[in-house]
Amino acid sequence: MAAPSPELSGTKAQRIVDAMRVQVGLRGATGATFEHVAREAGVSRGLLHYYFGTKEKLLAETVRRDCDFRLEQLSASVAEADSVDALLGGMVERLRLMVAEAPEFFVLFFELHAIGARNPEIAAELVELHRRTREHMAGILTRARDDGVITLAAAPDAVAEVLFSLADGLAMRLVSEPGRDFSATFAAGLAAARTLVLPA
């Protein structure tokens, strides 16, 4: 997935993607126009068109940056895990916090997949995003395995893909039904994860 232009790095770029996230939370991906985002970020609409071209590209960049941030948080939350329960428990807690703190991230993420179904450029960016997140999770699992914390029932990248699939499905339901008690669902998800991520 392409990085933003060098001229738009730093605080201005971050203001823009933060503004897009806020507007998606308020209006959804369809209703969050360049005009709304420009006003929120304090920049001109022409600047958004110049650097991103389309709203879809800005959505993709926002998701990319958010994913990088969430992956850093995930790594930090499980860095000291000394057991399979600590590792998986840390992942579950990170998912709960993500949904509680930034549900709009998941709204944007899922809407981008719908856009990708009819936009080949966005579909290609999503493939790259999935590759990077899968490799990041596989790296976490590989380090834990090599440190003698866990055993894996399959290749790290395959396990990573299944864990992300579980997390994405749970996140979709959490965002859709914010008042529901998902304790039993999380327990079942952990049981499923433990068939792939085992004690050392």
Mean pLDDT, residues 177-200 taken together: 95
Higher pLDDT, 18 or 181: 181
What are the residue ranges of helices labelled H in the chain? 11-31, 34-41, 45-52, 55-78, 84-101, 103-116, 120-146, 156-176, 183-193
The CA–CA distances, whole Å, from 43 to 11, 39, 172 equal 12, 7, 32
Mean pLDDT, residues 117-135 taken together: 91
pLDDT for residue 3 is more than 50: no
Nearest C-alpha neighbor of 58 from the set 140, 118, 1, 117: 1
pLDDT for residue 198 is more than 60: yes
Which amino acid, one-letter code, is at 77? S
Distance CA 114, CA 87 (A): 32
Under the banding of pLDDT at 50, 70 and 90, the label for residue 22 is: confident
Q: What is the pLDDT at residue 9? A: 59
Distance CA 82, CA 78 (A): 9
DSSP state of 2: P
Nearest C-alpha neighbor of 64 from the set 131, 12, 129: 129
Q: Are 193 and 127 in contact (CB under 8 A)?
A: no
pLDDT for residue 16 is more than 80: yes
Residue 199's DSSP bridge partners are: 150
For the chain, which domains are there? 63-199 (1.10.357.10)
Element containing residue 152 per DSSP (H, E): strand 150-152
Virtual torsion, Cα 159, 163, 166, 168, nearest 10 deg: -120
114-123 tens-digit pLDDT: 889 998 888 9
83-105 tens-digit pLDDT: 999 999 999 999 999 999 888 88
Q: What is the pLDDT at residue 55? A: 86
Under the banding of pLDDT at 50, 70 and 90, the label for residue 6 is: very low
Mean pLDDT, residues 137-149 taken together: 97
Under the banding of pLDDT at 50, 70 and 90, the label for residue 8 is: low
Q: What is the pTM of this model?
A: 0.85
**Around Cβ 120, how many Cβ atoms within 10 Å?**
9
pLDDT for residue 134 is more than 60: yes
